[in-house]
Amino acid sequence: MKPKTRFLKMYFKLPEKARRELVYDFANHPMSLNVCSLEIRDDTPSGKKILKELGYE
């Protein structure tokens, strides 16, 4: 299974409230899982870095 698919599967299993919590500090910019998922779904360079740093690659 691709890293992107694994992350999105985990993301969609979480409750709405958990998705909005700040969970990731990307280059001193805190992000919620909602923002991380947008970056990952859009295949941005930031999204690829996020996947790698979260251990999905």
7 burial type by CB count under 10 A (0-12 exposed, 13-18 middle, 19+ buried) = buried
Q: What is the pLDDT of residues 4-40, one digit of tens each?
A: 999 999 999 999 998 888 777 878 889 999 999 999 9
Closest C-alpha among 3, 49, 5, 4 to residue 26: 49
- Overall pTM surpassing 0.95 (yes/no): no
Residue 26, SS3 per DSSP = strand
Total number of domains in the chain: 1
Residue 43: is its pLDDT beyond 90? yes
Is residue 52 very low, low, confident or very high in pLDDT (cuts 50, 70, 90)? very high
Q: What's the domain range around 19? A: 3-53
